[in-house]
Amino acid sequence: MSVDRNTRDLEPGIERDFSRKMSYGSYLGLDELLSAQHPVSSHHDEMLFIIQHQTSELWLKLVLHELRGVRTRLMADDLRSAMKGIARIKHIQRSLTEQWSVLATLTPSEYAGFRGELGASSGFQSYQYRAVEFLLGNKNAAMLEVFRSDREAQALLAELLSATSVYDEFIAALARRGYEVPQELLERDVTQAHVFNAALMDIFRHVYEHPAENWDIYEACEELVDLEDNFQLWRFRHLLTVQRTIGMKRGTGGSSGAHFLRSALDLTFFPELYAVRTEIKQG
């Protein structure tokens, strides 16, 4: 290689003519994807705001895809494949959480330059985020009202509201394994959020006190805890970014803003898997 050049030649086999072949751009739909940013102001930093949220929605789409797969595999008693899906989701969650650091570069003065142009649009209206919550068990029928003007979004949430959650299916799998799961959990109204059940915690206490004899269930419990931990980290990072950017102002969608986000930190998907840690007997 010549030292007076800083380029490399195209290898003979590299494709050049895509008039009749699928290209990278056509496969990914880049024409549509990269033209989907429509700022409503002339402010330089609005592009950051749009791309941050669009990217998050793409990751949420993948999380939904993977969670549906996890639920299906649990229903088929394929615990190992289900946990592989959760492992992938955990990596996606890490990317979602790290993205907040990019949005946090938006200063209060910069955001104020275009926030007034956003109208009533708000991340509160992310139906995919609500769908993820529903799939994990935080059911809330009142959320469907937010999507009255978006029939497809409302239909998706209505479907997931009436369907079992990942945790419901994990509990059902435990019952099929012979664990003494309370019947009321197997027949519960799945449109309601799961709430703490002492008898279920007793099952998990047995699992945690005898991990060698219950290893795959023990490992699955820890994977679910990782999943919730990551979700809570995302919620907390969201809260901090909002406080850093707008302080305690109300949200553009009408919520109380940081106050509303802080209250979400009290919600839990898998309450027994946290409560059991207090009850495990020392050896």
Binding residues: 49-53, 111, 115, 238, 252
Separation between Cα atoms, residue 120 and residue 252, nearest integer Å? 5
For residue 238, give the nearest of 113, 103, 87 by alpha carbon.
Answer: 103
**Could you give the count of Cα atoms lying within 13 Å of 279 in the half-sphere of its Cβ?**
16
User: What are the helix and strand counts (H, E) for the chain?
Assistant: 13, 0
CA-to-CA dists, residue 103 to 45, 66, 121, 179, angstroms: 10, 26, 17, 46
Q: Is the dihedral of CA 64, 69, 72, 77 positive or negative?
A: negative
Task: Provide the annotated binding site for heme.
Answer: 238
Across 2-17, b (16+ Cβ under 10 Å) vs e yields eeeeeeeeeeeeeeee
Asked if 74 contacts 169 with a C-beta cutoff of 8 angstroms, the reply is yes
Asked if 238 contacts 261 with a C-beta cutoff of 8 angstroms, the reply is yes
Task: Provide the annotated binding site for substrate.
Answer: 49-53, 111, 115, 252
Residue 119 zone, left/alpha/beta (φ > 0; ψ -120 to 50; rest) = left
